[in-house]
Amino acid sequence: MRSLPDPVRLPGDFPATEVLDSAGASEGVLLSAEVSENLRRLAARHGATLSNAVLTVFFIFLNRLTEQQDLALAMSVANRPHRDLETMAGFFVNAVVLRQWVDEGKSFESLLDDVTREVAAALEHQQYPLDLLIEKLNPPRRGSRQALFNVVYAFQGFTDIAVRAPAGGSGSGLEIARELAPASHTAKFDLTLFVVDHAGPDQDSIWLSFEYSTGLLRAATARQWIETLARFCRAAAMQEEEALQEEQCE
């Protein structure tokens, strides 16, 4: 059994404390339709989901930010594996812990394959309660903080619903993404990446949002981080655009 990973060592503006301050805020950015479509093509080309493609970019971002190669974060899951549960009211959400080794010398495509396998393996155990896993592993406690992770990834897809523009609004992708994205003034973890995917006949956009602890980061730092993550997404999408152009020229 491998030793437990260290928490993600986020270079915050303020030192991390044993007691997590629940005060939080969020910073978000909207990816263009072109970037969003190229990310979908990239995922499809490698037999992966869009969620896994963005998650791979997120792992690369965390690696560059922290210089850690052994990274662990939690991914929220709906935990409704049976069709009969899809329409049933109730709170079924669970979290699975993902651990990924990020080698800077590895290509994006190879890392995407690794992440896809890691996610698939983790989802096989998505019904296992997180609190029981923590009890079994018995990791070192850090005050009121979650014992296994301090960073969370949450993907929400809205490809099967029609989203209308807010009343009185222009119906821009930014307005729609803000309507779909969670709004909160609290933070349960140091950093949570929310990804809202809306692919429909009128809009094709991906909204990225960092929910962060204001006890760790200033707004300007969180803004810089989300813009950097968006730039990484654009770089991945550019690779797909170049690959598509090469195919057309052959």
pLDDT in tens, 143-176: 656 778 899 999 987 654 444 444 444 444 445 5
Distance CA 182, CA 197 (A): 13
- The DSSP element (H or E) to which 177 belongs, if any, is helix 173-180
- The DSSP element (H or E) to which 59 belongs, if any, is helix 50-66
Which of 12, 31, 32 minimizes the C-alpha distance to 20? 12
- pLDDT for 44 beyond 90: yes
182: in domain: yes
Question: Burial code of 20-33, b = ≥16 C-beta within 10 A, e = fewer?
Answer: beeebbbbbbbbee
Rounded to two decimals, the pTM is 0.83
- Residues 50-98: tens digit of each pLDDT: 999 999 999 999 999 999 999 999 998 865 444 543 443 333 367 898 9
203: in domain: yes
18: in domain: no
More confident of the two residues 44 and 3:
44
Q: Assign residue 61 the CATH number of its domain.
A: 3.30.559.30
Domain count, the chain: 1
Average pLDDT, the chain: 80
- Residues 168-206: tens digit of each pLDDT: 444 444 455 555 555 568 888 999 999 999 776 556 689
Q: Please give the pLDDT value at position 104.
A: 84
What pLDDT band is residue 5 in, cutting at 50, 70 and 90? confident
Q: Rounded mean pLDDT of 90-119?
A: 86
47: in domain: yes
10: in domain: no
- pLDDT for 16 beyond 70: yes
Strand order in the sheet with 24-31: 24-31, 204-213, 191-199, 151-157, 70-77, 94-101
Q: Please give the pLDDT value at position 178.
A: 54
Which of 154, 136, 149, 51 minimizes the C-alpha distance to 97? 149
196: in domain: yes
Judge whether 174 and 39 are in contact, CB under 8 Å.
Answer: no
137: in domain: yes
Among residues of the chain, what percentage have pLDDT more than 70?
73
Which of 16, 101, 107, 12 minimizes the C-alpha distance to 59? 101
- pLDDT for 48 beyond 80: yes
What pLDDT band is residue 17 in, cutting at 50, 70 and 90? confident
All residues at 6 or more sequence positions from 198 whose CB lies less than 8 Å from its CB, including other chains: 158, 159, 163, 173, 176, 177, 180, 204, 205, 206, 207
53: in domain: yes
Segments forming the whole domain that contains residue 58 = 24-80+91-249
More confident of the two residues 1 and 47:
47
